[in-house]
Structure 1
Amino acid sequence: MKRITILILTLCMLGIAAKSCPVIPIPKQCVSNGDFFTLDRNVVIVGVDDELSSYLQSALFRYTQIPVKVGKNTANANTIRLVLDSRPSFAEGGYSLEITGQQVVIRSDHKNGLFNGISTFLQISSAGQKQGFRLDGVKIVDQPRFKWRGVMIDEARHFFGKEKIKQILDWMAFYKLNKFHWHLTDSQGWRMQIKQYPKLTAIGGIGNFSDPFYQARFYTQKDITEIVEYASQRFIEVIPEVDMPGHAAAAVKAYPEFSGGGSAAHPDFTFNPGKEETYSFLTNILREVDVLFPSQMIHIGGDEVHYGNEKWNQLPEVADLMKKNNLSDLKEVELYFFKRMSDSLQNLNNKILAWDEVVGNNIGKNHIVFWWRHNRLEQLRQALDKKVNVVMCPRSPFYFDYMQDSSQVYGPDYKKFGVNSVEKIYNFSPEIYGVKTEDMPYILGVQGNLWTERIQSENRLDYMLFPRIASLAETAWTMSDNKDFSSFKDRVTQHYPLYEQDNVYYYDFLDFRRRSEPMK
């Protein structure tokens, strides 16, 4: 009887929190105080940082159409105060937010935490429209579960452009997602200007997954700098991916002297690991990439090399490499290549990021492994036993190109690959895959990956990303015992009007008939 009473009280508290705290991800603590704060054009933002104050001002107008002021004159005015305060200390990314009758106070001991508090206030404010922007008084204390809360967008297969990427970054900030993994090179296209090698974009930028002759599409270095700065203003780090030694067809189409060949299904799939010039070529590329991306993290792929490395057996340079370095098979050649490129990145003071195929190598604290093969638990276990940091992005449930529901008709066959529903993403926890308590310090976080082989249009990109991005955010931020999917459903539907306002063509997982599925 006592347990039932506790369960009922817990469910009631979750219901109250969802009503008074219409926020995704749900905060760690959210307590109503009975007050109300009126958000109108007379409100003044008082902040310790002009950039944060200006961001809050413009974002409030975007979500509420209320033009609040920034200033110091607060006489007879309701205020929103941004306070940097080392007492009490906050966890990384943590903050407090208190809404009372005459003021809103967002407090943290670092700007990242203040920004997260701003994101929470923006959600509360946007939900306040139904009450005439009379915001319920609350006291929130909050902090993230994981440091890495990521989204990956693949623009090598299909290119979408900087305005679409900026829109996605805005929504990432809204949901406190803080890592943008940008897949910019693959066999179907090279999308990043490298000044030392102009043919990478002039030739390698031609085509996409649907049309190998489509006009060249890519980002100039000026474009990249603009996007990186835009993300930085939202406390999002941008991590580029330069895929190697496989998925290299676009690059070797531009510079065939570095081709390691491929297979019938994947021609010219690899770089040649036996040529010393290959390592110079790729290191020169990484030098420019390092300048463009201040995150000091570069992802170098390392996945699916076996799709197209069979020609390595016929290359005299590879035979010489194997003999000289006592390499017994092509897997060891692959690991040798990874070690060489890891050394190049280390010399550039970058962390080395790669997919889980690389765990057989000598990796350590300067590496981050992205565990994506949910059916290869031994790769995850090996990385954790080596005490290597891991980002969990298993295909099930974090591949966002997979179907969301069995009603969908376009995409990977759900009978073979399963369905990555909003609820399945929401219910994810590392423990499902055998992660132990002692492993948790090495789990940096989680990431949703949106591959675009089957996504040509912005509408389909939206349809596959929203609202799964919101489910991902709560999984990445909120501790499992504070999550409640029923509450989440109520909160996320309140964001549908915001999606529509921003021309986001979302999937309604509660009523799939409302919006037709874009086929491309």
Structure 2
Amino acid sequence: MKHFLLALIGVVVFSVSRGQTVCPVIPLPVKAVKESGVFPLDAQTVICAGDASLQPLAVYLEAALQRRYQLPVTVSKKAGATTIYLKQNGKDTNVDAYTLAVNKKAITITAAHREGIFNGIATLLQLTTAAVLHNGVLAIDGWQITDAPQYAWRGLMLDESRFFFGKKKVLQLLDWMAFYKLNRFHWHLTDVPGWRLEIRKYPLLTTIGGIGNIVDSAAPAAYYTQEDIREIVAYAGQRNITVIPEIDMPGHAAAANRAYPAFDGGGTDRYPRFTFNPGREGTYRYLSDILTETAQLFPAGMIHLGGDEVTFGNAGWDSDTGIARLKQEHGLKDRKAVEDYFIQRMADTVLQLHNKVMAWDEIATATLPADSTIVCWWRHDKPEALAMALNKGYSVVLCPRLPFYFDFVQDSSHHIGRRTGKGQFNPLEAVYNFSAAKLPAVPGHESQILGVQACIWTETVHNDNRLDFLLFPRISALAETAWTPAARKDFKGFADRLKAQQLLYKQAGLYYFDIFNPGWHKESGKSADHYLD
């Protein structure tokens, strides 16, 4: 699996014209000027890292070029006949900013920060896919690129509670995120169908809570060991991707409650065992233990606490004596007040471990420290939740169901997966054309918008092909929406660049949706009309 994408990309040569003036990269750089001449990458080319801290990136680039083109490019302290330079200098406040200069003698990637150097490498590797390899020489067109993203947070969320894909698929997904300069992987690891994260203090969470998935409630326990987690987090880190774990609470807790019923706060006939019990002090100790182990595995500086849809299963709180006592002691008038109290306490726990806490937009009603709270706004039909979060000073990641829920269908001919009650869905063009500036709550709060994120919930995603079909090519539109300023965006030009990149999808064996030939891969999966919103 390691370097899977790097190995496959090299065998594809894009059908682009020599001397083209449109940069073939997705996401489109802020400024790209075509230069005369080509850089001849061959067996004599060396990679020079200007600082010892950049050596791992030089090795990453070396491995990528060797695997793609079977050219014995090497890392060296001395320049060669042709050289790729990695130079860290300057004081750019945008950590992702970089410049890339390609001419006939050298390629130079310059940035103030490691993140920018990696982004320059990602752009260079995309440029190589548009180059011609002949007689052991890869001729890379000359370019002068100055680039930086409009958003720091360029994210993708995967739900593995409902369906467990496993390490091989996750590593492949991280490769494609790196290819498109996406840098936040939000990992939904706990929910009703299964608990997927090993917590050594509470082993039943995985041995019992890990049993089942959305398709088969009796499926053998599936989860990630702590060794798996460390490997995946390190792999992501090499690719400039931060992994943010989600431990969902106080709702969506059924898998955990099957394992440790002492902390069960009840549910409903439709959603049994749905909540943790906020009226028992032991619940907070138990969850604090879980968050402490989680924080040790994920150096993200934050944990996502969920906090969504608690009302699906908290009706029993009204008759719980412990919760009644809690309400009386703290002056909590209703279930929502109890929910906010719970979130505030668990946020305090996270902020003793990390410097940020994150959750879905339902937590906007809670009183949390503004400079430490990140809200994921997901309810496109609840603009008031976005407005409340922004007015309270919280930072916000925009992931509205329309257009960023990728479990929604992407074409009018598709019938498996989600639509809104009005029949709305999420085509590629809608993803591409999303603009935060069009949201009424945003003007005046632009500095609080960290970025955008797509989410893949897996009620209807039960195998790798289905995941590919929903993700590709929309991941490319997500990347350009997150990176490229609106003034530079043009869907037709994007589609032209995408058409070439779909050759990579084909060579990598992805079961992608071809917008240019919709019949290429048939829609597959089980119908889920009951998941309509």
Give the TM bin, normalised by the shorter chain: over 0.9
Q: d(CA) in 1 for partners of 2:300 and 2:418?
A: 33
Quick one: which of 158, 181, 185 aligns to 1:153? 158
Question: What's the secondary structure of 2:519's corresponding residue?
Answer: helix
Q: d(CA) in 1 for partners of 2:483 and 2:133?
A: 27
Question: What's the secondary structure of 1:21's corresponding residue?
Answer: coil
Quick one: which of 33, 55, 58 aligns to 1:53? 58
- Compare 508-517 and 181-190 and name the one that shifted more: 508-517
The correspondence of residues 277-288 of structure 1 with structure 2, limited to 5 A, is 277-288=282-293
Partner in structure 1 of residue 112 of structure 2: 109
Partner in structure 2 of residue 5 of structure 1: none
Partner in structure 2 of residue 29 of structure 1: 31
TM-superposed deviation, 1:20: 4.0
Partner in structure 2 of residue 455 of structure 1: 461
Quick one: which of 504, 510, 513 aligns to 1:507? 513
- Compare 97-106 and 416-425 and name the one that shifted more: 416-425
Q: Does 1:468 align with 2:470?
A: no
The correspondence of residues 470-489 of structure 1 with structure 2, limited to 5 A, is 470-489=476-495
The total of aligned residue pairs comes to: 504
Q: Does 1:394 align with 2:400?
A: yes
Partner in structure 1 of residue 144 of structure 2: 139
Q: Does 1:379 align with 2:382?
A: no
Q: d(CA) in 1 for partners of 2:68 and 2:275?
A: 47
Change (3 A) 1:479 1:460: same
Q: Does 1:297 align with 2:302?
A: yes
Per-residue CA deviation, residues 128-167 of structure 1 (Å, 9 max, x unaligned), is 1478732211100000100100000000000011111111
Q: Does 1:430 align with 2:436?
A: yes
- Compare 340-349 and 270-279 and name the one that shifted more: 340-349
Q: Does 1:493 align with 2:499?
A: yes
Partner in structure 1 of residue 9 of structure 2: none
Question: What's the secondary structure of 2:415's corresponding residue?
Answer: coil
Partner in structure 2 of residue 12 of structure 1: none
TM-superposed deviation, 1:46: 1.3
TM-superposed deviation, 1:503: 2.1
Q: d(CA) in 2 for partners of 1:214 and 1:510?
A: 38
Q: Does 1:359 align with 2:364?
A: yes
Q: d(CA) in 1 for partners of 2:187 and 2:178?
A: 16
Change (3 A) 1:180 1:294: same
Amino acid corresponding to residue 451 of structure 2 in structure 1: G
Per-residue CA deviation, residues 100-151 of structure 1 (Å, 9 max, x unaligned), is 0111111111111000000000000012147873221110000010010000
TM-superposed deviation, 1:42: 2.3
Per-residue CA deviation, residues 321-358 of structure 1 (Å, 9 max, x unaligned), is 11111111111111111011011111223411000001
Change (3 A) 1:375 1:130: farther
Q: Does 1:127 align with 2:127?
A: no
With structure 2 as the length reference, what TM-score do the two structures score? 0.92
Amino acid corresponding to residue 493 of structure 2 in structure 1: S
Q: d(CA) in 2 for partners of 1:507 and 1:17?
A: 30
Q: d(CA) in 1 for partners of 2:208 and 2:92?
A: 53
Amino acid corresponding to residue 365 of structure 2 in structure 1: G
Partner in structure 1 of residue 82 of structure 2: 78
TM-superposed deviation, 1:431: 1.7
- Compare 503-512 and 425-434 and name the one that shifted more: 503-512
Change (3 A) 1:129 1:186: farther
TM-superposed deviation, 1:415: 6.2
Indicate conservation of the 8 Å contact 1:17/1:31, yes or no.
no
- Compare 59-68 and 474-483 and name the one that shifted more: 59-68
Per-residue CA deviation, residues 184-227 of structure 1 (Å, 9 max, x unaligned), is 00000000000000000000000000100000000000000000
Change (3 A) 1:214 1:18: farther
- Compare 30-39 and 197-206 and name the one that shifted more: 30-39
Indicate conservation of the 8 Å contact 2:383/2:441, yes or no.
no
TM-superposed deviation, 1:314: 1.5
Q: d(CA) in 2 for partners of 1:68 and 1:156?
A: 42
Q: d(CA) in 1 for partners of 2:371 and 2:479?
A: 26
Question: What's the secondary structure of 2:56's corresponding residue?
Answer: helix
Indicate conservation of the 8 Å contact 1:28/1:482, yes or no.
yes
Indicate conservation of the 8 Å contact 1:98/1:139, yes or no.
yes
Select the structure that is richer in helix.
1
TM-superposed deviation, 1:57: 1.3
Partner in structure 2 of residue 420 of structure 1: 426
Amino acid corresponding to residue 491 of structure 1 in structure 2: R
Question: What's the secondary structure of 1:127's corresponding residue?
Answer: coil
Question: What's the secondary structure of 1:344's corresponding residue?
Answer: helix
Q: d(CA) in 2 for partners of 1:330 and 1:89?
A: 47
Q: d(CA) in 2 for partners of 1:333 and 1:497?
A: 53
The correspondence of residues 47-446 of structure 1 with structure 2, limited to 5 A, is 47-48=49-50, 49-75=54-80, 77-86=81-90, 89=92, 91-129=94-132, 133-363=138-368, 364-413=370-419, 416-446=422-452
Amino acid corresponding to residue 416 of structure 2 in structure 1: Y
TM-superposed deviation, 1:35: 1.6
TM-superposed deviation, 1:416: 3.2
Indicate conservation of the 8 Å contact 2:95/2:112, yes or no.
no
Question: What's the secondary structure of 1:514's corresponding residue?
Answer: coil
Identity of aligned residues (%): 48
Indicate conservation of the 8 Å contact 1:20/1:138, yes or no.
no
Any unmatched runs of 5+ in structure 2? 1-16, 527-533
Any unmatched runs of 5+ in structure 1? 1-14
Q: d(CA) in 1 for partners of 2:118 and 2:505?
A: 21
Amino acid corresponding to residue 95 of structure 2 in structure 1: E
Change (3 A) 1:176 1:279: same
Change (3 A) 1:355 1:58: same
Indicate conservation of the 8 Å contact 1:207/1:215, yes or no.
yes
